[in-house]
């Protein structure tokens, strides 16, 4: 279910400092056709934001910037339905498996992509998209790895978004 959801929708990456903004923002994003909500664990209120957004009809809330097994446990306990990470370690992947939390792991090289593919990850976050080489690099990376669908994030602007979406 997770792979189908992530392949069908664009996923806003949310860094929220004020808990009062959580529910109105989630409602607006869902109404605008963006139901997969990635709340990054970069603010002190992030876990509370995940808890608050659970009640927004039509939304699926996940936790981003998962770095450690402790992050995975906390995100799952807060109600996250999926996790996103800038990279992937064996410990992080195992923690997600243990918690039953679907993971969108990050990869920026062919080797990272291939290692994740061997572990069964056919959908991967391409991060950091622009600093790593943008659409030219992603196109070159994806060409020999057609089994992988990449979700690019990091440094993408309103000007470069159309080129990424075209890929």
- Between CA 36 and CA 60 the distance in angstroms is 5
Query: Within a 10 A sphere around the Cβ of 141, how many other Cβ atoms?
Result: 20
- Between CA 81 and CA 58 the distance in angstroms is 13
Of 38, 76, 81, 130, catalytic: 38
- Between CA 70 and CA 92 the distance in angstroms is 9
- Between CA 70 and CA 87 the distance in angstroms is 16
- Between CA 130 and CA 117 the distance in angstroms is 22
CA angle 38, 57, 123 (to 5 degrees): 35
Known active-site residue 73: no
Of 76, 81, 125, 130, catalytic: 125
Known active-site residue 38: yes
Tell me which residues are annotated as active site. 38, 125
């Amino acid at each position: 279910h997770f792979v189908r959801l992530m392949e069908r929708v664009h996923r806003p990456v949310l860094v929220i400092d004020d808990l009062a903004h959580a529910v109105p923002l989630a409602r607006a994003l869902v109404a605008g056709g963006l139901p997969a909500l990635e709340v990054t664990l970069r603010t002190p209120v992030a876990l509370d934001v995940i808890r608050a957004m659970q009640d927004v009809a039509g939304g699926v809330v996940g936790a981003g910037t998962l770095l450690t097994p402790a992050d995975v446990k906390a995100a799952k306990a807060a109600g996250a339905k999926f996790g996103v990470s800038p990279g992937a370690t064996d410990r992080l992947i195992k923690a997600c498996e243990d918690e039953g939390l679907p993971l969108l792991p990050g990869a920026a090289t062919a080797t990272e992509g291939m290692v994740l593919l061997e572990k069964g990850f056919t959908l991967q976050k391409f991060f950091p998209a622009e600093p790593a080489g943008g659409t030219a690099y992603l196109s070159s990376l994806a060409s020999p790895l057609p089994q992988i669908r990449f979700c690019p994030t990091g440094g993408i602007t309103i000007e470069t978004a159309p080129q990424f979406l075209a890929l």
